[in-house]
Amino acid sequence: MKLGNNARLLITGDSVTDAGRVRPVAQGTLFDPLGTGYPRIVGGLINAVYPERNINVINTGVSGDTARRLAARWQSDVLDLKPDWVSVMIGVNDVWRQFDSPTQPEEHVGPEEYEATLDELFTLTKPRLSGNLIVMTPFYVETNLADAMRAMIGRYADICRVLARKHGAVLVDTQSCMEKILESHHSSYLTWDRVHPNNVGHTALARAFLKALDFEF
């Protein structure tokens, strides 16, 4: 596995990452601070399979975040915590607000701002890490590729792929791991609103995350 001994793995993003974590900073294992989502599963598997590595998993996801809002708290919720590895999954709210809040353009984060914001954050952060960045694409659990929100999510996911290559980051293709399950199940098997995963959906995310880190299942 790519994470070395005593590594601090910080995972941040929006509600999919937040998943009811404790505040202000969720870390460690006492009383399950990491929430009910994929960070909890990732932390549990890493420390059950590689206990000798003593890896601290930290969750600073915040429900409702866009790339713009994430950038505003980046110093306190990422850099000040001095992580060795930083994982970011952001973008669904950047897209969603354009559909559920069309009369509030001030809340919209278009693809140009999204790319420029993440590029700036990655440029700032990468030199400070002893490990690497992990870029998780945003996803939308929808099989109809012509669906307007699904199509736009695909555009933002492509931006993540470009930035991951530019910065030499580890890429986690979350859309692909969901679509594998959609080959045999309806989207409601994974999520009630096509955005917020249930336990099966979060487990799929955790598995894709760990595979990208060469985790030996």
How far CA 162 is from CA of 64, 74, 76, 91, 147, in Å, comes to 24, 21, 26, 14, 23
As annotated, the active-site residues are 15, 193, 196
Measured from the Cβ of residue 137, the count of other Cβ atoms closer than 10 Å reads 24
Residue 110 in tokens: 């278009």
* DSSP SS3 for 23: coil
- Cα 4 to chain centroid distance, Å, stands at 21
